Copies of this chain bind each other. A is one copy, B any other.
């Protein structure tokens, strides 16, 4: 066991893109645990666009205090335990933050140990974790695609988008993904089997949406906001549903950008735009993970992981989400996972 605990603390609130100046890497003693607690050795950190929001404003959680360890979903291994429900070696997932070691009392954890045997831990942070659950409930409970529906997904080469798009395919929809760059688009129509892809870096998105959806978009799963949301609103089918999952195009804006001009099309097309948070569906996580694991085992759901090695590179890994460098789920590997996981 390491003698020290490295941790990234929030030094300042970013304006625009978060950079190294907003974080400070500190080294402390490994924390001591009290009765009812256990010590977690961090293995993987999850990189999520929402972390950018947590850095500078109150959302569904209060913003991160300056000087706090950077908040982050993570998976780790119990290194020491004085908690009756957790033993050394257990795998646990929770908000352990950007650090080598975290102390937990067991509240608010995700049950990583219930993963089907042989599934890598990285999957528990992607298709079979919060990312997959977000895609699952957003697409199925909010978007409700029917067989034959035209489904559009932005950020489709990203973690949540790639899973959401595949879930819509599994349910018989015709699915078009939007991503940045020819390589990502080729991955969407190739390995993921989507019906078409739009490269927002080289194509006129609004025109392409109209071409690809002559009858309108029945479900739009939005990870990006901005002009692409406006284009989807402009092409909405009668009774269309817009699933608001994220708005990454605005997360680094220094002031709130204009909203979608075409929102009045929701009246003309009798459409709906709806947000959701995956935590509201906690009672159904078991059912959903079962479905996701089944689809993965049957080869219908591909889970792509993009790993950056080393806690010291966590700020850079987070930045990759906003430059569009990642494909699939962006993780930081902090320590080697146990053999076979």
A260, B273: Cα distance in complex, Å: 13
A272:B270 contact, CB within 8 angstroms:
no
Which of B225, B230, B247, B271 sits near A275, CB closer than 8 Å?
Answer: B271
Give the copy number.
2
B268:A225 contact, CB within 8 angstroms:
no
A60, B272: Cα distance in complex, Å: 16
B residues in contact with A270, CB < 8 Å: 275-277, 280
Q: How large is the interface on A (under 10, 10 to 19, 20 to 34, 35 or more residues)?
A: 20 to 34
A259 within 8 A of B: yes
A261 within 8 A of B: yes
B280:A276 contact, CB within 8 angstroms:
no
Report the stretch among A250-258, A291-299, A318-326 that lies at the interface.
A250-258
Which of B265, B268, B277 sits near A267, CB closer than 8 Å?
Answer: B277
**Contact (A261, B272) CB under 8 Å given A244-B266, A246-B267, A277-B267:** no
Which of B245, B246, B260, B267 sits near A259, CB closer than 8 Å?
Answer: B260
Q: Chain B's nearest CB lies how many Å from the CB of A282? A: 13
Nearest-neighbor residue (CB-CB) of A61 within chain B: B268
B residues in contact with A84, CB < 8 Å: none
B residues in contact with A272, CB < 8 Å: 272-275
B residues in contact with A258, CB < 8 Å: 258-259, 261
B residues in contact with A277, CB < 8 Å: 267-268, 270
Q: List 15 A-B contacts (CB under 8 A).
A: A59-B268, A244-B267, A245-B267, A247-B264, A247-B267, A256-B262, A257-B261, A258-B259, A259-B259, A259-B262, A266-B274, A266-B275, A268-B277, A272-B272, A272-B273
